[in-house]
Amino acid sequence: MSNAKKKVSADDALRMFRQMVRIRTFENNANQLYLSAKMPGLTHMYSGEEAVAVGICEALLPTDKITSTHRGHGHCVAKGADFKAMFCELLGKEEGYCRGKGGSMHIADQSNGNLGANAIVGGSLGIATGAALTSKLKKTGDVAVCFFGDGATAQGLMYEVMNMAALWKLPVIYACENNGYSEYTKTEEIAAGSITARAEAFGIESHQVDGQDVIAVNELSRTLVDRARKGEGPFFLELMTYRYHGHHVGDINREYYRAKSEEEDWRENRDPIIRMRAWLIENKYATEAELDELSKEVTEDAEAAVAYALDAPYPDVSEVDMHVYTDIEHVLA
């Protein structure tokens, strides 16, 4: 754990801890909803990668933009989303962030600058870069962060937009969450050379950071976000992390591509929440009892949100042809 006590206030540290616990708790509930056949569709768990989303989003302002991925619940929570509207969206309910039209893989929360999760791997690289172009042209000072996985580095779009972002010095941070697996395949089998070298080829300043260390991620992010605001962007981050679950919830038997012992090692020895908890206690920012109380609060909050979402109404069927166009209320009317 970074020895960064002086730079991180107790408030900041505790907020980051709480946000990581919120993500983990959200995912545990989402997993349970899915396994108990209460949640339709398909979902991808962020558990294990919490320090990445929280470390970065805690360095951003609400007006800063992010784009997210199919494994996007963590980014959404970290950027300030509300449990109730998220669970409602996961269950396809009217009160969901997207009125039930997006679901797990398309949650967007524009009130907090989340331009949406994207079910096309690498699909949002252009969108984040475009948001940075807006910031530069309108001089808003906003920074855009593009979250994507190691798998997305195989998409050609990434090279096209990094090229333009570097040419035009756009305030965008490409945050590559390297969890070691591109769906069901080891990253080393799909990526030649080094990940960071890809960005360096465009002259983009790149960093590799321990994605299980929220303090380290946050500290680096604060620096880069400030510099991007000043026009020193773009930047590229490779965050070394791990997903505890399979590629998706149903990916249970995965020993053909990943050993159980490896999973146990990450869970037991590199878990970002366990590490942060120890760090908080060690630095006397909180007591065991206080952190237990915090976790309990979050659990209750999540359970209440789940219960609320389960009881919430589905959208009226008349909504099916709404929101196709901004200016045509019912496109099929």
- Helices marked H in the chain: 10-35, 50-57, 73-78, 83-90, 125-138, 156-168, 187-190, 195-200, 214-229, 260-269, 272-282, 288-311
Please tell me the total number of residues recorded for the chain in this structure.
Answer: 333
CB of 216 to other proteins, least distance (A): 29
Closest CB to other proteins among residues 30, 217: 30
**Which 48-67 residues touch other proteins, going by CB under 8 A?**
65, 67
134 counts as binding other proteins under rule CB under 8 A = yes
Which residues have a Cβ under 8 Å from the Cβ of 258 and sit 6 or more positions away? 181
DSSP-derived pairing of the beta strands 65-67 and 235-240: unpaired
Closest CB to other proteins among residues 215, 225: 225
Distance of alpha carbon 300 from alpha carbon 59, whole angstroms: 27
Q: Render the burial of 317-328: b for 16+ CB within 10 Å, e for the rest.
A: eeeeebeeeeee
Q: Of 53-61, 109-117, 206-214, 274-282, which part binds other proteins (CB under 8 A)?
A: 109-117
Stretch (H or E) spanning 155: none
278 counts as binding other proteins under rule CB under 8 A = no
253 counts as binding other proteins under rule CB under 8 A = yes
Distance of alpha carbon 175 from alpha carbon 150, whole angstroms: 10
Looking at 252, 289, 317, 333, which residue binds other proteins (CB under 8 A)? 252
Distance of alpha carbon 87 from alpha carbon 308, whole angstroms: 9
**Which 32-51 residues touch other proteins, going by CB under 8 A?**
34-38, 41-42
Q: What six digits make up the tokens of 234?
A: 């773009």
127 counts as binding other proteins under rule CB under 8 A = yes
Q: Of 96-104, 206-214, 218-226, 303-311, which part binds other proteins (CB under 8 A)?
A: 96-104
Closest CB to other proteins among residues 31, 187: 31
Cβ atoms 20, 54 nearer than 8 A: yes
CB of 11 to other proteins, least distance (A): 30
Q: What six digits make up the tokens of 59?
A: 């360095």
Looking at 61, 167, 259, 278, which residue binds other proteins (CB under 8 A)? 167
**Which 136-165 residues touch other proteins, going by CB under 8 A?**
137-138, 142, 144, 156-157, 160-161, 163-164
Which residue ranges make up the site for other proteins (CB under 8 A)?
34-38, 41-42, 65, 67, 96-102, 106, 108, 110, 115-116, 118, 120, 123-135, 137-138, 142, 144, 156-157, 160-161, 163-164, 167-168, 249-250, 252-253, 322-328, 331
